């Protein structure tokens, strides 16, 4: 793979992915809202690794900006790796959440990665090769402990990734869902949380290094802090077996009338 497009690339996880992929020899297309930060990172990577770096200043919650990034995925130097990293958290309960803020988080965490994957995958299938990395979260597996819609948006990313892997894996497109636990990025400060009050926080470089080990192994789902891979395998095996016994009639336990 020669060119990678990374969203949310001006800092945090996205910027570290950019550094790691540039060190591997990938040319880059960096997408974020801050032109100044993108230009500084692009200059750093060109000097350090002699790779080509494009920048696209875009707010992925704005339809026109999102369309420009979609167009870049369809036109120009082929993009062989899409890193859907841009995202936002919304802390607090569902009942107290501002509907406009919820809509913005849904636009960034759900709509944008879906549309970008859609824009990228057609050309990847046509070439018979390509990869998509979707950054999710372990909170997708624990919604009861993380109220509001953030966990739901990350559950969507996990399910989307698994669906894309099933559909396009046989056609040469590898899809990886990365599920970080708490990671030291500015997503927490932007959401109004103090990262220093959160236990067991992983450093960004450790996260990305581990995620790329999973990428090289072609893992469908990578959970960097998970020590026992058998736990995830058991969960996935149970999910795979569960639908096999579902028939076309109500189960016996639902046939008895409800008690008074």
Tens-place pLDDT, residues 201-234: 889 999 999 999 999 999 999 999 999 999 999 9
The crossing angle, in degrees rounded to 10, of helices 112-127 and 63-74 is: 10
Q: Which residues are catalytic?
A: 150
Could you report the per-residue pLDDT of 14-46, keeping only the tens digit for each? Answer: 999 999 999 999 999 999 999 999 999 999 999
Number of H helices, E strands in the chain: 9, 7
With H, G, I as helix, E, B as strand and everything else as coil, classify residue 6: strand
Question: Looking at residues 254-259, what average pLDDT do you find?
Answer: 76
C-alpha count within 13 angstroms, C-beta hemisphere, residue 184: 11
d(CA 217, CA 256): 49
**Residue 140: phi, psi to the nearest 5?**
-65, -20
- Domains assigned to the chain: 3-230 (3.40.50.720)
pLDDT digits (tens, 9 = 90+) for 152-204: 999 999 999 999 999 999 999 999 999 998 777 777 667 666 677 677 888 99
Model-wide pTM > 0.85: yes
* Strand runs labelled E in 26-165: 27-32, 53-57, 81-84, 130-135
Closest CA to 89 of 14, 17, 185: 185
């Amino acid at each position: 793979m020669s060119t990678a497009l990374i969203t949310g690339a001006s800092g945090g996880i996205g910027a570290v992915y950019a550094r790691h992929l540039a060190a591997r020899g990938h040319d880059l297309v960096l997408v974020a809202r801050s032109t100044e930060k993108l230009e500084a990172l692009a200059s750093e990577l060109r000097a350090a690794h002699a790779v080509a770096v494009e920048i696209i200043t875009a707010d992925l919650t704005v339809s026109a900006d999102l369309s420009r990034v979609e167009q870049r995925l369809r036109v120009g130097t082929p993009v062989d790796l899409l890193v859907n990293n841009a995202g936002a958290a919304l802390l607090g309960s569902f009942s107290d959440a501002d509907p406009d803020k919820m809509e913005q988080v849904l636009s960034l965490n759900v709509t944008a990665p879906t549309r970008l994957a859609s824009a990228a995958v057609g050309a990847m299938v046509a070439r018979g090769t390509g990869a998509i990395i979707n950054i999710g979260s372990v909170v997708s597996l624990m919604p009861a402990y993380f109220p509001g819609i953030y966990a739901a948006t990350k559950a969507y990313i996990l399910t989307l990734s698994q669906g894309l892997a099933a559909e396009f894996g046989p056609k040469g497109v590898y899809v990886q869902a990365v599920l970080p636990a708490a990671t030291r990025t500015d997503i927490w400060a932007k959401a109004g949380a103090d990262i220093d009050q959160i236990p067991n926080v992983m450093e960004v470089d450790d996260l990305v290094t581990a995620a790329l080990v999973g990428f090289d192994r072609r893992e469908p789902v990578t959970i960097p802090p998970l020590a026992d891979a058998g736990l995830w395998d058991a969960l996935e095996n149970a999910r795979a077996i569960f639908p096999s016994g579902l028939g076309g009639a109500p189960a016996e336990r639902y046939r008895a009338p409800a008690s008074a």
